[in-house]
Amino acid sequence: MNDLISVIIPVKNGSKYIEQAINGILNQKMNVEIIVVDDCSADNTIEIAQNYGCKIVKHETSKGQVAGKNSGLKVAEGKYILFHDHDDIMMEGALQKLYEEFEPDFMAVEAKVQDWYSPDLSEEERAKTLIKQEPYWGLFTGAILIKKEVFDSVGYFSEATQTGEIIEWQSKMDSNNFKVKKIDFVSTLRRIHSTNFGKTNQKTEFKNYAAILRAKLKKNNP
Amino acid sequence: MTYYKPNDSKMFADITDGMAIIINSETGVYYGFNELGTEVYSNLINGVSSEDIINKLKPWNNNAENNFKEFMDFILKNEIMLVSNDGNSNAEIEINEETAKVCDYILKADEYLDAQELLLADPIHEVKEEEGWSPEKSSLNENKEDVARREAKMVQ
């Protein structure tokens, strides 16, 4: 049996898709604990997660998905961590492949994700929502298996921004000379639907990115 | 007179804490200016002519004209700004000498390629912001004044 893997799912009002996400993880047939961090859902997200035996963490006030990752980390018991979106679906055998690709020199293993139109997305919405046609690296969720000890060194995510935490994390990984092994396969289907968290105002998102990049440059060139 | 304007179609620029960060939304390459470069960039955005900027820098640096030319060559080569037909004749040049001194009166611009995959990985931007998952503002540990100050400096 593999070392325990903690799969952390931050979610808010995710009842529509979370069951498929949980099933996708359970179908991996790996030794996992699924931690669902509920950010004040108004629907029955928690009930669904409880029915599947997930560990539940509830936020008293809505704090966002970055804080959700941190809350999950605080209760995670696994030797490895994988963040997962509530609406995505992990490919069969992906978790085992990520796990088996670990080598002593690496602190994380990264696969690609593939955008995928949710079946319930209308033709009209598909037409106005451009997605990547090819699999790509660079997304945290569902794609990177990380040794938990990494977070003992680099700390939790900054909750000052709501996006771009992977940029900050990558910067900290570089600072600590922690290596990430990239594997060219698709681990997760990233569902594109009408209310993706990622569908935000581009200027706000880039402003978050700029703040992280600025902090990184100032740290490297004080 | 020569004027420039931001290349809004592909570049996102953010000026905070005296440092401009410009992200090319098509390539994921990003650029950073030193503090003097950031002040010059701000003046160009405000419609100050390149001639007025050079005249301001010259008393501090004998090589100011060449340095400014190199700076603008970098900016134009990377399409951070575009030549503009219009300036703002009422724009007052604002370059702080103390800032210039800290930078040894030299304009600097750098290109960074280390976040390309990450910056390009999350490009779904088709719907209104309020439809996304936003936390309660009170949980973000920032006050209204900070937000207003940063937004005021944000290049639209």
- For the segment A29-48, the average pLDDT, to the nearest whole number, is 96
List the 196-215 stretch of A: residues with Cβ below 8 A of B: 196-207, 209-211, 213-214
Q: How confident is the model at residue B130 (pLDDT cuts 50, 70, 90)?
A: very low
Min mean pLDDT across A39-48, A72-81, A127-136, B141-150 is at B141-150
Identify the pLDDT of residue B66: 96
Tell me the pLDDT tens digit for each residue of B8-66: 988 999 999 899 999 998 898 999 999 999 999 999 999 999 999 999 999 999 999 99
Q: And the tokens for B6?
A: 């931001």
Residue A132 to residue B123, Cβ atoms within 8 A: yes
Find the residue in A nearest to B115 (Cα). A167
Tell me if the pTM is above 0.95.
no
Asked if A182 and A135 touch (Cβ cutoff 8 Å), the reply is no
pLDDT: is A24 or A168 the higher one?
A24
Asked if B125 and A202 touch (Cβ cutoff 8 Å), the reply is yes
**Mean pLDDT of all residues belonging to chain B:** 82
Please name the residue that has the structure tokens 């997930």: A54
The CA-atom distances, in angstroms, between A73 and each of A20, A62, A150, B11, B99 are 22, 17, 11, 35, 42
Asked if the model's pLDDT at residue A196 lies above 80, the reply is no
Helix axes B64-77, B35-45, angle to 10 degrees: 70
Identify the pLDDT of residue A164: 77
Q: Which of A39, A200, A206 sits opposite B132 (nearest CB)?
A: A200
Find the residue in B nearest to A139 (Cα). B121
Identify the pLDDT of residue B134: 52
Phi, psi of A113 (to 5 degrees): -115, 160
Q: Phi-psi category of A155—alpha, beta or left, where left has phi over 0 and alpha has psi -120 to 50?
A: left
Domain definitions of chain B by residue range: 3-114
Asked if the model's pLDDT at residue B132 lies above 50, the reply is no
Phi, psi of A100 (to 5 degrees): -75, -20
Q: And the tokens for A140?
A: 């945290």
Min mean pLDDT across A19-23, B133-137, B149-153 is at B149-153
Tell me the pLDDT tens digit for each residue of A105-125: 999 999 999 988 888 888 887
Asked if the model's pLDDT at residue A168 lies above 50, the reply is yes
Q: How many CB atoms lie within 10 A of CB B123?
A: 18
A170 neighbourhood in chain B, CB within 8 Å: 115, 118
Asked if the model's pLDDT at residue A202 lies above 80, the reply is no
Find the residue in B nearest to A192 (Cα). B124
Measured between alpha carbons, how far is A63 from A40 in angstroms, rounded to an integer?
Answer: 9
Identify the pLDDT of residue B156: 31
Residue B124 to residue A192, Cβ atoms within 8 A: yes
Asked if the model's pLDDT at residue B142 lies above 50, the reply is no
Name the percent of chain A lying above pLDDT 70: 95
Tell me the pLDDT tens digit for each residue of B66-121: 999 999 999 999 999 999 988 887 888 999 999 999 999 999 999 999 888 888 77
Measured between alpha carbons, how far is B23 from B118 in angstroms, rounded to an integer?
Answer: 12
Asked if the model's pLDDT at residue B133 lies above 70, the reply is no
Measured between alpha carbons, how far is A165 from A209 in angstroms, rounded to an integer?
Answer: 9
Measured between alpha carbons, how far is B135 from A12 in angstroms, rounded to an integer?
Answer: 10
Q: How confident is the model at residue A149 (pLDDT cuts 50, 70, 90)?
A: very high
Asked if the model's pLDDT at residue B147 lies above 50, the reply is no
Identify the pLDDT of residue A192: 84
How far does CA B69 lie from the centroid of its chain? 17
Could you tell me if A117 lies within 8 Å of chain B, comparing CB atoms?
no
B32 neighbourhood in chain A, CB within 8 Å: 213-214, 217
Q: Give the homologous superfamily in CATH for domain A5-157+177-196.
A: Spore Coat Polysaccharide Biosynthesis Protein SpsA; Chain A (3.90.550.10)
Angle at CA of residue A137, ends A132 and A139, nearest 5°: 90
- Helix (H) / strand (E) element for A20: namely helix A18-26
Chains A and B form CB pairs within 8 A to the count of 129
Question: Which of A132, A206, A221 should one mutate to test binding to chain B, selecting the residue with the greatest count of B CBs within 10 A?
Answer: A206
**Mean pLDDT of all residues belonging to chain A:** 90
ipTM for the complex shown: 0.74
Asked if the model's pLDDT at residue A101 lies above 80, the reply is yes
Identify the pLDDT of residue B141: 45
- For the segment A134-159, the average pLDDT, to the nearest whole number, is 91
